Structure 1
């Protein structure tokens, strides 16, 4: 019997390599190759770049770790098609950043604990983005009151990026978290 094989555009990488590729593709999609150029040294990195990378990594880690807490198998994987779509938006004014996703597997008979773990795993990603946004806004207000206007602007942009990540991921459209959340409830 011949083993089933995925087409080239649906291939996945292992988890450690997926994290590296996911972050690099995100940086290149947002900043182009200048993100890695030694001639374009920027003492303070872009709040959008930092916000998206920190937000994306923590978002996916929360999905993965909450699922694992409930005994579910979970890992972050990069998808070749997602990488290609992300990189194709380089010249466009809007970006689609979807190099990978957290895959959660439920084995054995269904149980209320597994169902709850799946739902909490789905909600955990956008929740961390909301928390990051809130904390950045609080820090921004403190910076503004303290007279650090540039820090205030940086933190507000960081907060906006994470609020957007949370809102976008909660849209009830597959494969976003919002559709999985409404399907799990």
Structure 2
């Protein structure tokens, strides 16, 4: 079991939705939150990988009925909407939204493909915006938290990451705008 970190113990019996939870940062967040007794809604495209993360969360103390697995592709708007609906239907609340799901493609101005640009912005910017919008009333009610996972390339340019960098800059600015506009008092 994880060593308590200041503030995380308050996650017991809270509900967190973690997008992109089938690997990487999302999987690590899910396992950590499970250690603190946080009920979880987990999304991912790969259900086998999502099941493995869920199994680890159960090993860390959550009951299986405290975890909702949602297969979702955030390129598809109906999957984003389904994620919000199923989370609220199962738990009737949300305390933490972790917008982590993302798409990474290498490109530059010389080889950018507009269809790839659209895909990156749909997953990395539009889906988190829509999900936050749909869940805002519930987050306000619980005085909840939104965490938007970004990247250093949103602030610092790196060769070969044009579209991805632009999407992360948009995510960073969206985060600032939402923080200025929503009061969770």
TM-score, normalising length: structure 2: 0.31
- Higher-Rg structure is 1
Between the two structures, name the one with larger relative contact order (CA 8 Å, sep ≥ 6).
1
Higher normalized strand content (fraction of residues): 2
TM-score, normalising length: structure 1: 0.31
Higher normalized helix content (fraction of residues): 1
